Amino acid sequence: MAWWGTFIGGTLGFVFGGPLGALVGAVLGGNLDRGIKIGDQADMGTQERVQAAFFTTTFSVMGHIAKADGHVSALEISAAKNIMAQMQLSEPQRKAAIKFFDQGKSSDFPLEEVLHQFKKECHRRRSLIQMFVEIQISTAMADGKADASEKHILYTIGEILGFSRSQIDHLFNIVNGAQASATDNLTLTQAYKILGVSKGSNEAEVKKAYRRLMSQHHPDKLVAKGLPDEMIALATEKTQEIRKAYDTVKKSL
């Protein structure tokens, strides 16, 4: 939680300019009055700065997606709260997350500008960015499906962040499989989709896909790249779901 203390305490010296800076200013304006400096290019890529960018972008974009179909459902609010609960946020962090979520619901939320800055802040940490996208898909799928407006936004997010449509579809498969796994309803077909391999794949191909996904979702690696410590439970859950898919497929080989 070190990043949070320095973030709100005015000692980090890097708070963003641009659209992320505007979001932070709207949510933590009282603290910014203490004289936090605007960071420059030299500050970018530091772990604490990336963690702050990830937290800010995650909850604001989550709010934007939830409002995509014109209203925020109780299930979408519940999904956001569940993520906050998994993160075991402190009360100030939870309040900030809710405020960022509300900022994202605004009709003038600058989605593309926020995402471009987020990508820049992450300094090509692709697995970290992928985790961000999976969180957004999970929120959109909170009610069991993503409608056309939500899918359009998610594909736009993918394009801006460097993911093809087929790659986003694979992330949808991971999330769908995770939801099935949570209720012990994971099918063999879903397990193959989570791993991103076909039913005709041999054992070596399945194992290679499994190891790649486990590496991408490894909690310690993600935290080292800038995933906020509070989100380690989300990454751990992903690895458990991937392992369950692998075990399901392996039994059928």
Confidence band (pLDDT; 50, 70, 90) for 128? very high
Q: How many domains does the chain have?
A: 1
148 membership: H or E segment, kind and range: helix 148-161
Average pLDDT of every residue of the chain: 84
Q: Residue 235: is its pLDDT beyond 60? A: yes
* pLDDT tens per residue across span 133-157: 999 998 888 777 788 888 999 999 9
pLDDT of residue 34: 41
How far is Cα 205 from Cα 184, in angstroms, rounded to an integer? 25
Stretch 20-36: mean pLDDT, rounded?
Answer: 66
pLDDT of residue 196: 93
Confidence band (pLDDT; 50, 70, 90) for 77? confident
pLDDT of residue 66: 87
Stretch 14-24: mean pLDDT, rounded?
Answer: 77
Confidence band (pLDDT; 50, 70, 90) for 3? low
pLDDT of residue 21: 82
Phi and psi angles of residue 40, each rounded to the nearest 5 degrees, phi first: -120, -175
How far is Cα 183 from Cα 217, in angstroms, rounded to an integer? 21
How far is Cα 172 from Cα 130, in angstroms, rounded to an integer? 12
Distances (CA, A) of 253 to 131, 177, 181, 196, 200: 29, 19, 20, 16, 10
Question: Is the separation of the CB atoms in 117 and 157 below 8 Å?
Answer: no
Stretch 97-102: mean pLDDT, rounded?
Answer: 92
Question: Is the separation of the CB atoms in 222 and 127 below 8 Å?
Answer: yes
* pLDDT tens per residue across span 213-222: 999 999 899 9
Q: Is 71 exposed, middle or buried (0-12, 13-18, 19+ CB in 10 A)?
A: exposed
How far is Cα 200 from Cα 197, in angstroms, rounded to an integer? 8
Tokens of 149: 């407006």
**Cβ-based neighbours of 149, under 8 Å, separated by 6 or more:** 68, 69, 70
Q: Which residue has the higher pLDDT, 22 or 153?
A: 153
pTM value? 0.86
pLDDT of residue 247: 94
Range of the domain at 181: 2-252
* pLDDT tens per residue across span 53-62: 899 999 999 9
Longest CA span, the chain: 61
Tokens of 212: 């790649």
How far is Cα 174 from Cα 156, in angstroms, rounded to an integer? 19
